[in-house]
């Protein structure tokens, strides 16, 4: 059996090629797909997050680690789905209507996937109705909304209101982005707020648990 610690190490340093190769070899040798995620991939991304918090890693390191994890996860995800393994939670994520910024939202989506969530990324310029419709369609328990402009932040309240109007009592709304604050999140009735990608994973886990 392959040395699976190489998978952890490859994700930690952002070596996408090695992460993919080790995962493929492990699966060929009969490794349990869920064990690869739970024992190696998620812990690696958790460590990446800790290093980010401690200012040992910065956004570029987060991005390459997330890319390495996503490549390996693409091999595993179909196997988990076919075996009926449930994700930690389901998240619909996107940038609010009128906002075309993508990098921060994409990083949060990757970190959530690394944390064991099933993520549906709607992209940018997403209407409140589209968030609600996709949440209904996928059975998502979290809608994560990003904004990078003060002029588009108001669209976050539209999402919160649309969720309420649709009667989606079990769906929590998370918000984040450069101009967004905890105070603003509270004022619009959002259930969670994060100012960085790593913290977003912790918040999402708390919302699922609640």
pLDDT tens digit sequence for 82-131: 877 788 899 999 999 999 988 889 889 988 988 889 999 999 999 999 99
Q: What are all long-range contacts of 134-137, with beta carbons under 8 Å and residues at least 24 apart?
A: 134/92, 135/92, 135/163, 135/168, 135/171, 136/166, 136/168
Query: What percent of the chain stands above pLDDT 70?
Result: 99
Q: What is the 3-state secondary structure (H, E, C) of 116-153?
A: CCEEEECCCCECHHHHHHHHHHHCCCEEEEECCCCCCC
* pLDDT of 2 over the 80 cut: no
d(CA 75, CA 81): 11
Kindly tell me if the per-residue pLDDT of 138 is higher than 90: yes
Query: To 10 degrees, the CA torsion angle through 195, 201, 207, 210?
Result: -130
Mean pLDDT over 188-197 rounds to 93
Contacts 24+ apart (CB under 8 A), 197-200: 197/49, 197/52, 197/62, 197/104, 197/107, 197/108, 197/110, 197/111, 198/48, 198/49, 198/50, 198/52, 198/53, 198/62, 198/111, 200/108, 200/111, 200/112, 200/144, 200/174, 200/176
152 closest CA partner among 180, 172, 131, 174: 180
- Taking the C-alpha atoms of residue 184 and residue 182, their distance in angstroms, rounded to an integer, is 5
What is residue 87's DSSP assignment? P
Q: Which two tokens stand for residue 13?
A: 């340093």
For residues 143 and 66, which has the higher predicted lDDT (pLDDT)?
143
CATH class as words, domain 5-82: mainly alpha
Name residue, tokens 């994560």: 144
Q: What is the mean pLDDT of residues 142-146?
A: 97
Instruction: Show me where the domains of the chain are located.
Output: 5-82, 90-209
| Whole-number Å distance between alpha carbons of 38 and 173 | 26
Is residue 1 scored above 70 in pLDDT?
no
pLDDT at residue 24 above 70? yes
3-state secondary structure of 191: coil
When pLDDT is averaged across residues 160-167 and rounded to a whole number, the result is: 96
CATH topology of domain 90-209: Rossmann fold (3.40.50)
| pLDDT for the residue numbered 204 | 95
């Amino acid at each position: 059996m392959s040395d699976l610690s190489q998978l952890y190490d490859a994700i930690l340093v952002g070596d996408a090629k090695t992460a993919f190769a080790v995962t493929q070899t492990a699966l060929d040798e009969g490794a349990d797909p869920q064990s690869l995620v739970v024992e190696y991939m998620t812990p690696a991304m958790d460590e990446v997050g800790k290093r980010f918090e401690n200012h040992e890693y910065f956004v570029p390191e987060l991005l390459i680690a997330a890319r390495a994890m996503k490549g390996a996860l693409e091999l595993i995800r179909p196997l988990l789905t076919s075996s009926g393994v449930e994700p930690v939670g389901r998240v619909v994520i996107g940038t609010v209507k009128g906002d075309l910024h993508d990098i921060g939202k994409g990083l949060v989506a990757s970190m959530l996937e690394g944390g064991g969530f099933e993520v549906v990324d709607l992209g940018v310029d997403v209407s409140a109705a589209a968030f609600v419709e996709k949440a209904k369609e996928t059975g998502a328990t979290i809608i994560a909304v990003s904004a990078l402009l003060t002029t588009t932040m108001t669209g976050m309240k539209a999402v919160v209101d649309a969720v309420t109007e649709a009667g989606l009592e079990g769906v929590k709304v998370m918000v984040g982005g450069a101009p967004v604050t905890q105070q603003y999140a509270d004022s619009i009735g959002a259930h969670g707020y994060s100012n960085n990608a790593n913290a977003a994973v912790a918040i999402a886990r708390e919302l699922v648990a609640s």
